[in-house]
Amino acid sequence: MIQIEAEKKVHFCDGMTRRDFLHAGSLGLMGLTLPGFMQLQAQGAVIGKEDKNCIFLFLVGGPSQLDTFDMKPDAPLEIRGPYKPINTNAPDIQISEIFPNVAKHADKFSIIRSMYHKAAGVHDTGHQMMQTGRLFLNALEQPHAGCVLGYLRGSKNDMPPHVLLPRPIGPTGGNMPHGQSAGFLGKAHDPFILNADPSAPDFKVPDLLPPDYISAVRIDRRQKLRDMVDASVAQLEKDPDARLLDESFHKAYTLMSSQNAREAFDITQEPDSVRDRFGRNKFGQGCLLARRMIERGVRFVTVNMFETVFNEITWDIHGSAPFSPIECYSDLVGPMFDMGYSALLQDLHERGLLDSTMIVAMGEFGRTPKINPAGGRDHWPQVWSVLVAGGGVQGGRVVGKTDEIGAYPIERPVSPAELVASVYHSLGIDLETELPSPGTRPVPVVDYGVQPVHELFA
């Protein structure tokens, strides 16, 4: 951000100065750019919409369906694996024994057991499709669902519309984007990224304020920018919508110094007992921060359980280094998810926020039905399981069914596009809403004809 010094002051209707205008203009990353706001106002997409929220819990690495939410206890040992199913508090639903706390909340979520895609079985393609509904084509990056929501609805309560915790997904072997940006909508609509470990003892509230001054900027560049701003302000004052635009910039400027925003990130305000219940790890504390974000006005939160699959214990259980052994599901990864997810469901339910907040817990693909020679399971995009709760989703049910070895869907296959359409449906976004793109035609939020998974809401 560049801060401009000038003798002449220009004020908007409510007293905001040109300097404030520049501060606010630097906040495009919060989804409040001038062209976007004008377009949305013309479409009526900002006003009169019911507030719904969403949380993506991205289980990076691809959990095995056979060892988590689609158990096959009657299959041969090399298929069923080392874990046993347990009953839940929902009739006729069993899940893995590695999730004893999640089992107590099955009445709050539904399981999609027939998720699949037909693209290459690499992490990056799954990341893209599960968060955008599409593969990237011709170097055109599709926008994350949270960025679409921020573009269409903007901010509320001085909070960024989309927050990503704790860090973006890093290298996973494909050298492709992971679908966690605003893509063709532009960087102005990228998520606010925490870039810190909320479980670290020295975790601090991120600095939401811009730098006071950038001394390296040359005088002539400042002069050119100052002249450009003078012209822009003069044009705004002539525009009949200037008052409305002035208010939007004022909100953007307020965000940067918002006490509400700083308190939302201050996880130390939570009692130790609550932090312990979520789990003192990046994922657990990320889930707790997600709840705090939603409470205070963030519309969409993405929590990455892991940032890579290399040399770290994750869901990516190939069985040999640099990947993870299948035993980590009971030793580390399973308990982390069990605590964080169950605590998030419980807290949102107790605070009356679950009905208005969809939670999607998902990986990018499943695992091979047969255990490999290294004692693990390899990539398998042919089928896997996803948990969906809140936001109008009916809990305690199963959508779809797989064959006897958990290899393929045999009832109600669900594509990533249909899952993303279900998210938009929950958020109240018309599936034929079109987004501006660099191409010759607008792009709908999901491909024409794609429908939500209605069985989740019926």
Domains plus CATH for the chain? 16-48+213-256 (no CATH), 52-209+259-456 (3.40.720.10)
| Distances 103 to 275, 309, 334, 399 between C-alpha atoms, Å | 20, 27, 13, 17
**314 near 337, Cβ under 8 Å?**
no
The confidence score (pLDDT) of residue 3 equals: 29
The confidence score (pLDDT) of residue 227 equals: 62
Examine the pLDDT at 182 and tell me if it is beyond 90: yes
Phi and psi at 144, nearest 5°, equal -55, 145
Examine the pLDDT at 25 and tell me if it is beyond 70: no
Reference 314, options 60, 19, 66; nearest CA is 60
Confidence band, pLDDT 50/70/90 cuts, at residue 76? very high
Reference 27, options 166, 189, 148, 162; nearest CA is 189
Q: CA-to-CA distance for 414 and 381, rounded, in angstroms?
A: 12
The confidence score (pLDDT) of residue 206 equals: 74
What is the pTM (predicted TM-score) of this model?
Answer: 0.82
Q: Which of 25-29, 48-52, 105-109, 447-451 has the lowest mean pLDDT?
A: 25-29
The confidence score (pLDDT) of residue 29 equals: 38
The confidence score (pLDDT) of residue 138 equals: 76
Confidence band, pLDDT 50/70/90 cuts, at residue 393? very high
Sign of the C-alpha dihedral, residues 389, 391, 395, 401? Answer: negative
* Residue 96: HSE in the Cβ half-sphere, 13 Å Cα cutoff: 23
Phi and psi at 213, nearest 5°, equal -165, 145
The mean per-residue pLDDT over the stretch 14-32 comes to 40
The mean per-residue pLDDT over the stretch 338-367 comes to 98
**382 near 407, Cβ under 8 Å?**
yes
Average pLDDT, the chain: 85
The confidence score (pLDDT) of residue 228 equals: 62
Q: Which of 34-38, 264-268, 280-284, 399-403 has the lowest mean pLDDT?
A: 34-38
The mean per-residue pLDDT over the stretch 321-346 comes to 97
**334 near 29, Cβ under 8 Å?**
no
pLDDT in tens, 241-263: 454 444 445 544 555 567 888 89
The mean per-residue pLDDT over the stretch 299-305 comes to 98
The confidence score (pLDDT) of residue 64 equals: 98
Helices (H), ranges, 297-398: 328, 334-350
Q: Which of 42-56, 80-94, 99-113, 318-332 has the lowest mean pLDDT?
A: 42-56
The confidence score (pLDDT) of residue 224 equals: 57
Q: CA-to-CA distance for 146 and 358, rounded, in angstroms?
A: 12
Percent of the chain at pLDDT > 90 equals 72
Confidence band, pLDDT 50/70/90 cuts, at residue 205? confident
Strands 162-165 and 109-115: unpaired
The confidence score (pLDDT) of residue 208 equals: 65
Q: Which H or E run contains 25?
A: helix 18-25
The confidence score (pLDDT) of residue 7 equals: 39
